[in-house]
Amino acid sequence: MPLYDNRRHCHRCHERWVLRLNRDMNSDGYLDEWRTEQCFDCIYHIPLLGALGGDYGVCSNPASSFDGQLKFEHDGCECHLRR
């Protein structure tokens, strides 16, 4: 079975990767307007394939400091462009 469909492996990846969030929805500093500026709704978000594709993708926005980096769907940045 390919690792991208191995649930155990993907769960461990999520546990590691969620620690790198730019904007944690559970933090006291999370701004209400950020709820409408999440990565999954950005035109530059390219979803991964396999089990992680529902939650993660790569940023392809050349104006963002996250260009080329893996991003959680509910994370975001100052360069968000709505689909």
DSSP string, 46-70: EEPSSGGGGTEEEE--TTSTTTTSE
How many domains does the chain contain in total? 1
| pLDDT, position 56 | 97
pLDDT at 50: 87
Tens-place pLDDT, residues 42-81:
999 999 988 899 999 999 999 999 999 999 999 999 999 9
Beta bridge partners of 72: 56
- Predicted confidence at residue 64, as pLDDT, reads 97
Domain residue limits at 47? 3-22+31-72
Residue 1 has pLDDT above 80, yes or no: no
- In the chain, the N- to C-terminal Cα span, in Å, equals 34
Does any domain span residue 81?
Answer: no
Residue 67: inside a domain: yes
Residue 50: left (phi > 0), alpha (psi -120 to 50), or beta? left
CA separation for the pair 58, 80 (Å, rounded) = 13
pTM of the prediction?
Answer: 0.88
